[in-house]
Copies of this chain bind each other. A is one copy, B any other.
Amino acid sequence: MTIRIRPAEDGDAPAILGIILPVIRDGTTYALDTDMSDAAALAYWCGADKQTFVAEEGDTILGTYFIRPNQAGGGRHVCNCGYMTSATATGRGVARSMCAHSLTHAVSEGYRSMQFNFVISTNERAVKLWQSFGFDIVGRLPQAFRHPSLGYVDALVMHRFL
Contacts and interface: CB of A to CB of B under 8 A. Distances in A.
A32 interface: yes
Interface in A129-162: 138-148, 152, 155, 157, 159, 161
A52 B51 CA distance: 31
Interface residues of A, number: 38
B71 A118 contact: yes
Contacts of A75: 31, 118, 144-146, 155
A74 B139 contact: no
A159 to B, nearest CB: 6
Contacts of A143: 112-113, 161
Contact of A73 (B31, B115, B117, B142): B31
Contacts of A157: 139, 141, 157
A81 interface: no
A78 interface: yes
Q: Which of A113, A141, A157, A159 has the most CB of B within 10 A?
A: A141
A39 interface: no
A86 interface: no
Contacts of A77: 146, 152
Interface of A: 27, 30-34, 36, 70-78, 112-113, 115, 117-118, 120, 138-148, 152, 155, 157, 159, 161
